[in-house]
Amino acid sequence: MKSILEEIYYGNWRPDESIKSTDHRSQQINQKVSDSMTDYNKNLSKHDFEQLEKLLDWIGELNSMHAAAAFTHGYRTGALMMIEVFSGEKESTHE
């Protein structure tokens, strides 16, 4: 098995594709979305349904950008915590 660094280097590590929600509601909501899309496909004109799909694609892109920013922020926060731990600083940011 390759190291995580090698996986990142070769572009094989995509956390956004392997994360699964542990919230039991996610499967129910996913089913509601799927059912709604089926209904929209039946009831909207082809053009209107294509516009809806385009809108959902844009929302998906925004969500992906947000997830990437949250991942980066979390990683940086974790790295800053490690720097603080290894630097031996004893001061608290909360007084």
Largest distance between two CA atoms of the chain: 64
- Between 45 and 6, the more confident residue is 45
Mean pLDDT of 6-24: 84
Closest CA to 36 of 46, 26, 49: 49
Q: What is the CA radius of gyration of the chain?
A: 21
Of the pLDDT bands very low, low, confident and very high (cuts 50, 70, 90), residue 74 is very high
pLDDT of 17:
77
Q: Where are the domains of the chain?
A: 46-87
Q: Give the pLDDT confidence score for residue 93 in this predicted structure.
A: 60
pLDDT score, position 94: 60
> Is the torsion defined by CA of 42, 46, 49, 53 positive or negative?
positive
Cα angle: 5, vertex 19, 23; to 5 degrees:
150
Dump pLDDT digits (tens) for 81-90: 999 999 986 6
